[in-house]
Amino acid sequence: MKKISFTLNGERRQVHVSPNEILLEVLRYKMGVKSPKSGCDSGDCGACTVILDGKAVRSCLIFAVEVDGQEILTLEGLSADGLSPLQQALLEKNAFQCGYCAPGMILSAHELLSNKPHPTEGEIKEAISGNLCRCTGYQPIIDAIKSLTQKR
């Protein structure tokens, strides 16, 4: 077991982990942060996406010990001060159905918009192409993100 500390949704947290523990499992089962989901455990589906030092990453492919000293944002953190304009747009457009992919999808889109506030439709599709959704056919999600970039 090794003690690691990192910033999770703006709060300094410490946790004991063994070297083979996966970040997704540590977040969910040791730290009570449930928005990152498991959908494949092999990096295919993107449901476990979190923002690590500003970049969207798959928490099922990262060992928890690797994030020592870094900063992690999950959907809980993004929602802490109310819905972001991105979340608001997705809500108003009824962009999600079952909502299981939503946490990962939103964080991938959040990363895109943080770096590029006015992406093209192609860039939006590219940014969320690692997040599988079986319900929506993606278009309502893309349209919601697009509406936001036009509003700005």
Partner 1 sequence: MEKLHAVGQSAVRVDGKEKVSGAALFTDDLEFGPDLLYAEIVEGPHAHAMITKIDTSEAEKVPGVLCVVTGRDFPYNFGLYMKDRFIFAQDRVRFFGEQIAAVVARSPAAAKKAARLVRVSYKPLPKILNPLDAIEGDASLIHPGLKSYEHVPWFFPQPDTNIAHHRKIRKGDVEKGFAEADHVLDDTYEVPRYAHCAIEYHAAVAKYDHSGRLTVWASSQSPHTQRNLFANALAPMGIRHNDVRVIAPHVGGGFGSKAGVTMEILAAAIATRVKGHPVKVMWNREREFYNTYQRLGVVARLRLGVKKDGRITALHHELYWDAGAYVEYGANVVNAVGLSAIGPYRVENASIDSYCIYTNLPPGGPYRGFGYSEFLFGLESHMERIARHLGIDPVEIRRRNAIKAGDLTAYGAKMNPSGLMQAIDAVAKEIRWDEPVLPGNDEEAVGKGFSLFWKAPAMPPNTSSSCFLKFNEDASINILVSGMDIGQGFLTVMAQIASEVLTVPLSKIRTENPDTDRNPYEWQTVASHVTWGCGNAVKLAAQDARNQVLDLVSRTQNLPKDTLYLAEGSVRCVTKPSFRMALEDFVIHGIQMPDGTFRGGPIMGRGVFMPEYATTKADPETSQGGHPNVHYTVGAAAAIVAVDKKTGKVKVRKIVEAVDCGKAINPDLVRGQITGGILQGISTVLYEEMKFDHRGKMLNPNFTDYKIPTSLDLPDEVVPIIIEVAEPDGPYGARGMGEHTMIPVAPMIANAIDDALGLRIKTMPITAEKICLALLKKNEVR
Q: Which residues bind partner 1 (CB under 8 A)?
A: 28, 32, 34-35, 37-42, 44-45, 47, 74-76, 78-79, 83, 87-88, 90-92, 94, 96-103, 106, 124-126, 128-142
Closer of 91 and 115 to partner 1 (Cβ): 91
Q: What are phi and psi of 9, to 5 degrees?
A: 50, 45
Q: What is the DSSP letter of 93?
A: T
Least separation in angstroms between residue 123's CB and partner 1 is 11
Question: Distance of CA 106 to CAs 13, 63, 73, Å?
Answer: 24, 23, 12
Least separation in angstroms between residue 39's CB and partner 1 is 4
Least separation in angstroms between residue 72's CB and partner 1 is 14
